[in-house]
Structure 1
Amino acid sequence: MLTLTESCRQHPPTLRIGFWLLEDFDFYALANALEPLRLANQMAGRSVCIWQILSLEGRDLNASNGITTATTRLDQVQPLDVLILCGGDNLHAQAESPAVRQKLHYWAAQPVGLGALGKAGWLLAQTGALDGFRCSLPEPDPSLSFTTSSDLSPVAAPFCVDRQRLTCVGPQAVQGLMHELLARSHGRGLVLRMEKHVTRQARPLQSVYNAPAKLQATLALMNEHLTRTLAIDELAESMGISRRHMERLFKRNLGCSPSRHYLDLRLQQARQLLQTTKRPMKDIAQQCGFVSLQHFFRCYRQYFGAHARDHMEADQPATRS
């Protein structure tokens, strides 16, 4: 079992997670849980986590939005570190199912993390699996007549990880719960890199319409010199301004330094060439001003969160670092 405490190991073992789906499960909550796990593997460049999609009977299940999802039988599950319950609006029927209650009691007694997304946390509470643990639960549905132990300790937080129990209030809090799980198993540095990547991907290269003339001229010069890149001092001298003035222009209008924007332009150009041509990767790297493939690979992964070969046009031979 992988202990859910802050990880100090350089290479922690792979985190093994099972998602136990109930009929009419919340597909949005499941997607919000899986995406951070996928991104963690991408950012780390290896499988820091793996997951299984499970159900009681191992049949195809319909989500609340009608999407059908294939599952594996719960009793055929591979070894797990964490099992997370994912339900939906039909929890009352699930709570009355002897088979569901039996399995919940069984897993609550196992040396693994046990969690739930949103309203499914009330199923854990009803079976006593949250007794003595702090937990984050949504407001109970008035139509549900759940009875819980007085040992329940809810907290006013979107999500909560207390020892081997994981809960959250709803689909929007699922990502935070997954980030906390990853931070405890593989360190907060990985989560910070993921958050930085998501922020960068959501920020397009900004429009320079109505930008100061000196800035527009500098950007045009950058675009003309992507292969033989110019030093920032050269750019400033060409514009007849000081380096300090140029840095202020970029910071005020684009929110970054000239060198950062220049690198962004080169990486954007590299991705376009990878996706639209069959040129060797070494040639593309050189055309975009990178002196070595290793430097190109490192910058590309830091910016896009993926290896350059992952964006190559189909059938183009890959060059591996």
Structure 2
Amino acid sequence: MTFTKGEWNMLQLTGSGRPQPPVLRIGFWLMNAFDLYALANALEPLRQANQLAQCNVCQWQMLSQDGQPLNASNGIATATVRLDQAHMFDVLILCGGDDLHLETEHPGLLQQLDHWARQPISLGALGKAGWLLAQIGALKGFRCSLPEPTPSMTLATLRELTPVAAPFCVDRQRLTCVGPQAAQGLMHELLARTHGRGLVLRMEKHAVRQARPLLPLHDAPEKLQATLALMNEHLCRTLGIDELAHAMGISQRHLERLFKRSLGCSPARHYLDLRLQQARQLLRSGEHALSDVAGECGFVSVQHFYRCYRQYFGAHPRDHIGVSSLTH
């Protein structure tokens, strides 16, 4: 149910013959009264990764033992697919709730879980569901991150574990986290290991930007408005921060305070963001050579342009040549 990176590159080609990134396929195995908050925190990074990558780098399915709708702990019903009828997946993640001791009474659950623990896939759990992995010995020899044990847990089970003092842990083919808020970090780590940390860095930057309050331009400080306009007019021959401050008739320190207070970043950081976004627009038009784009966006060398672009977008500039934002 898993493929090597070479096999994925052979399988996934665009019409131009350019390989696409591998699709990370995840099955979420839901149990009755599962924690919807934990599940939502796990799903949001996957949705955001697809949005920023502009293609499906992740796919997921809601699964259960019998394929019937299940109620979350807050009563919201969720449709599921029977586990043995699921599409191919590379990662199976167990999602339970506070009443996991009741789940162990269901015939066949631990046996079925043991079956999947022996398959060549990654197996994980959110919060207390990790203790079910521990019960069948699936965490033996793996580092893990688990919440406090329940009184019913045996000492033998605890002795076989190698816990880490961290909110989440990915150790080879095992993924665990202590609770709902750690689920997002767990997914970020999984995405980083599959698609590289550049993608996760872009996701984090996007989240920071989304969290900024809207700043109506007419309400922004006049000096800030003027500086932003000057930056947009000088994307090719970039101005130094000292030059911008001098043009505004204020100190460089005052200018930096304006940006930090209103935009949450330094003038240099915002200026670089503008230039990189302009570079991507030029590349998408398909009418400019890479060296020309670097020069038109104020980069002193092509190598510096490549490095900044990869750090910001998680891709090489050539990957975006002629690629419309609506292609995917």
Is 2:101 the counterpart of 1:75? no
Is 2:211 the counterpart of 1:202? yes
Distance 2:28 2:226 in 1: 52
Distance 1:89 1:99 in 2: 20
Q: Deviations over 1:9-57 (max 9, x none)?
A: x854111100000000000000000001111111111111111110011
Match of 2:23 in 1: 14
Match of 1:250 in 2: 255
Question: What's the CA shift for 1:217?
Answer: 2.9
Give the counterpart of 1:136 among 108, 128, 145: 145
Give the counterpart of 1:178 among 173, 176, 187: 187
Distance 2:143 2:65 in 1: 27
Distance 2:281 2:164 in 1: 50
Is 2:108 the counterpart of 1:94? no
Preserved contact between residue 12 and residue 185 of structure 1 (Cα < 8 Å): no
Distance 1:67 1:40 in 2: 26
Q: How does 1:50-199 map to 2 (within 5 A)?
A: 50-142=59-151, 144-145=152-153, 148=157, 150-199=159-208
Structure 2 vs 1, CA of residues 248 and 11 (structure 1 numbering), >3 Å: closer, same or farther?
A: farther
Question: What's the CA shift for 1:99?
Answer: 1.8
Structure 2 vs 1, CA of residues 237 and 134 (structure 1 numbering), >3 Å: closer, same or farther?
A: closer
Question: What's the CA shift for 1:250?
Answer: 2.6
Distance 1:319 1:196 in 2: 19
Structure 2 vs 1, CA of residues 181 and 93 (structure 1 numbering), >3 Å: closer, same or farther?
A: same
Structure 2 vs 1, CA of residues 3 and 20 (structure 1 numbering), >3 Å: closer, same or farther?
A: farther
Distance 1:134 1:43 in 2: 31
Question: What's the CA shift for 1:248?
Answer: 2.9
Preserved contact between residue 192 and residue 200 of structure 2 (Cα < 8 Å): yes
Q: Deviations over 1:265-320 (max 9, x none)?
A: 9xxxxxxxxxxxxxxxxxxxxxxxx7995479999xx9xx9xxxxxxxxxxxx985
Question: What's the CA shift for 1:154?
Answer: 1.6
Q: Percent identity?
A: 62
Structure 2 vs 1, CA of residues 77 and 68 (structure 1 numbering), >3 Å: closer, same or farther?
A: same
Gapped regions of structure 2 (runs ≥ 5):
6-18, 286-292, 298-309, 314-323
Is 2:56 the counterpart of 1:47? yes
3-state SS of 1:148 partner: helix
Alignment RMSD (CA, Å): 4.0
Structure 2 vs 1, CA of residues 152 and 196 (structure 1 numbering), >3 Å: closer, same or farther?
A: same
* Residues 68-77 or 92-101, more deviating: 92-101
Match of 2:15 in 1: none
Question: What's the CA shift for 1:157?
Answer: 1.4
Match of 1:272 in 2: none
Report 1 or 2 for greater relative contact order, CA contacts < 8 Å, sequence distance ≥ 6: 1
Question: What's the CA shift for 1:98?
Answer: 2.2
TM-score normalised to the size of structure 2?
Answer: 0.69
Preserved contact between residue 226 and residue 248 of structure 2 (Cα < 8 Å): no
Gapped regions of structure 1 (runs ≥ 5):
5-9, 266-289, 306-317
> What is the aligned length?
270
3-state SS of 1:53 partner: strand
Q: List 4+ stretches of structure 1 deviating above 3 A.
A: 144-147, 205-209, 219-223, 228-241, 256-265, 290-299, 318-321
3-state SS of 2:139 partner: coil
